[in-house]
Amino acid sequence: MAKSIRITIHGRVHGVWFRQSAMRMAVQLGITGFVRNEPDGTVYIEAEGNDNALFGFITWCHSGPELAEVSHVSIEEQAVKHYTQFEVLR
């Protein structure tokens, strides 16, 4: 059964290929949704998938790509939106 979560990632997460790396990881894990940079310097993700896939994705978000410096990750459950793919939003 699919779950849907909102993830906000704080730290040095802009300009380090976070969005592209998140998309690659999401596709690998079978997660749908989107990722985007926020004006406040965070990265915002909506992710849908099964518990194991989401656990793996959240674990990855705590470190992100090699150049990222993640200081905090916040997660909230939300209603499932039935995304069909994972995409990078501008």
Tell me which residues are annotated as active site: 19, 37
Q: What is the C-alpha to C-alpha distance for residues 67 and 29, in angstroms, rounded to an integer? A: 22
Task: Report which secondary-structure segment, H or E, holds 54.
Answer: helix 51-61
Residues 6 or more apart from 1 whose CB is under 8 A from it? Answer: 50
Smallest Cα–Cα separation from 68: which of 19, 11, 20? 11
Give just the sign of the alpha carbon dihedral 12, 10, 30, 90: negative
